[in-house]
Structure 1
Amino acid sequence: MSPMMPQRRLIRIVFPLLIKPVILLMTMLGIHIFWLRVIILTKGENYNSWKRSMTVALLARNKLKFVNGKITQPDPEDDDYDAWSRCNWMVISWILRVVSSEIGDSIMYLDDASAIWSELHDRFHQYNGPCVFGVKRSMQVLTQGSNIVQEYFTRLKALLDLVQQFRPQPICTCGAMKTIVDYQEQDQVLEFLVGLNDSYSTVHSQLLMQDPLPPINKFYATIIQEERQRGLNFVSTDSMDSSSSSTQFIRSVQSARPKVVCSHCGITGHAINKCYKQHGYPLSHKLHGKGCGSTSHSGKVVVNHFNGSAADKVPNC
């Protein structure tokens, strides 16, 4: 410990009997905002998850030693007895907050937090063999199916973490331990790839060619990137299909319209009241001056400005 460290910070680190005033006040008022992320213990199946989340929460508040037996009850005449008693009852109130009402009734009258911790361990802790078997069985039938990659990976990662919890790694400093850990990480990668849909076979085949294999998080990031790219391609293809469908619809509507045929020249697209051969070509047309109705009997050029209502005023050929 550095001699320059402030005394107040030193007390917070090494003195577990210390309770911050804000935590004490919230505990007295029944405000447990610090325990919102702790799993509620309802039955034996979720005991391991509950113990893990509870351990993290107690360790973060420097109160884990009250349940693991490292801080025992002092003599009632000891100067630290009052501080220990206050912390002990606070930890008990935290435990009662994160268990079901049925379990809480069975441990309500225990006066020691470590005794409650041991009681729950003896009651709900199971031998690791059946637990590992259940997890392995769930992993065997777990596939992506209709789920997105993120949902599939989250469920698989939770099962893999459970296996590591039931089978913790031994503390070893030899080089063989690193090899064992590498093999376990490769097994996790293979478990992830086995449950993926066949549509990603090309991607994970390329990843499996790498030596050594990337960690499972690297595989996950690559598959997620491929999934997003496919989503963009699907949206682009869908937009093109919609545009093509709209074009076809417009063409079908246009083809369904009745065709107008000129009774004078027999050409479709205009009626006789707008027929240039009948009434003469306009000034801007290259055939202006050629055709019926373009000149008068006096030899002067006549420009016919007509509309549909004036067709009967133009002399017929």
Structure 2
Amino acid sequence: MPPRVAPSEPQLDHSSPFYVHPGDGPSSVAVTPLLTGSNYHSWSRSMKRALGAKMKFDFIDGTLPVPVDVFDPSFRAWNRCDLIRISELQQEIYSLRQDNRSVSEFYSELKQLWEELELYLPIPQCICRNRCTCEAMHSAHNNHTLMHTIRFLTSLNDQFTIVKSQILLIDPLPQMNKVFSMVLQHERQSNLASLDDSKFLVNAARTGKQASGAKRVCSFCGKGNHVVENCFKKNGTPPHMMKKSFASSNVVEGGNDDSPVITTPSISQD
């Protein structure tokens, strides 16, 4: 019996869900408004209409069966749609950066992309009847973990440079959950240090304000509004202050001399 040969792919009908227009891409299905935490129902209706217009909603609700036979003419079209999605996921994973996200938020988003990608590219499993003695499956799993770990570390912000170097120097490389715990601990310590620095600056500002606003008291005479370095009782009156004091006393004395003398005539009784 001659071997089966995959037939040439027939020309797909434009109404087929497997048909991909040359202009279609990751951003070809635009839905407004964007999905938020409170508008799922309205967003879902808009997305269903957009996918229905592109003849792609059958992929979402499960009405389009997966071609089982690789020689089925629709299998190549199905596989091509998978490859398009794989390409999109790879692009999203390698362009994703932490930016202003926390470590937990960034890791959760990255893990969702990894899990979806594994649906299309699962880790191979041994199907031998007898127990496999080679290390092929173990090596494949280790390589898979290595790629995820490096992708996660290289996408973190620059503030994690030290902990990234420490993790990459560990031999063997820790599992992904251990790496995540180490990075998360470093983030918490950095946040605590920043909080302590902020408290120190606030306390220093308050102390300086209180010190500047405190009442000055002389340690020599005990009077206020001056310090011992400026105390007249200890150091004497400065020359310029003495001139002002002397001029003021002359004005007072001159005023007393020029003032009219009022005499009261005496009344005598003859």
Taking structure 2 as the reference length, what is the TM-score of the superposition? 0.51
Residue 128 of structure 1: how far off its partner (Å): 2.2
* Counterparts of residues 30-179 of structure 1 (less than 5 Å): 117-119=62-64, 127-172=81-126, 174=132, 175-179=135-139
Percent identical residues: 24
Q: Does 1:222 align with 2:167?
A: no
Aligned length: 165
Distance, in Å, in 2 between the alignment partners of 1:100 and 1:121 is 21
Aligned partner of 1:198 in structure 2 is 158
Alpha-carbon separation, structure 2, partners of 1:134 and 1:214: 29
CA distance in 2, matches of 1:146, 1:177: 37
Is 2:156 the counterpart of 1:212? no
Q: 2:202 aligns to what?
A: 242
Match of 2:191 in 1: 231
Counterpart AA for 2:165: S
Unaligned runs of 5+ in 1: 1-44, 46-98, 105-115, 272-317
Q: 1:281-296 to 2 correspondence within 5 Å?
A: none
CA distance in 1 between counterparts of 2:194 and 2:51 reads 52
Q: Measure the CA separation in 2 of the matches of 1:188 and 1:216.
A: 8
SS in 1 for 2:64: helix
From 224, 233, 251, the equivalent of 2:211 is 251
Q: Which amino acid aligns with 1:212?
A: P
Q: 1:252 to 1:121 in 2, by over 3 A?
A: farther
Q: Give the AA of the match of 1:144.
A: Q
What TM-score do you get using the length of structure 1 for normalisation?
0.44
Equivalent residue number for residue 248 of structure 2: none
**Separation in structure 1 between the aligned mates of residue 95 and residue 50 of structure 2, nearest angstrom:** 33
Which amino acid counterpart does residue 231 of structure 1 have in structure 2? N
Secondary structure, counterpart of 2:98 in structure 1: coil
Question: Once superposed, what is the RMSD of the aligned Cα atoms?
Answer: 3.8
Unaligned runs of at least 5 residues, structure 2: 1-25, 27-46, 53-60, 68-73, 226-270
Aligned match of 1:186: 146
Q: Is the 8 A contact 2:123 2:140 kept in 1?
A: no
Q: Distance in 1 between matches of 2:51 and 2:202?
A: 59
The alpha-carbon deviation at position 219 of structure 1 amounts to: 0.5
Task: Specify the alignment match of 1:292 in structure 2.
Answer: none
Distance (Å, rounded) in 2 between the aligned partners of 1:134 and 1:148: 24
**Which has the higher relative contact order, 1 or 2, with Cα contacts under 8 A spaced 6 or more apart?**
2
Give distance in 1, aligned partners of 2:217 and 2:50: 86
SS at match of 2:89: helix
Aligned-pair distance for 1:181? Answer: 1.2
Moved over 2 A (4+): 99-104, 116-128, 266-271
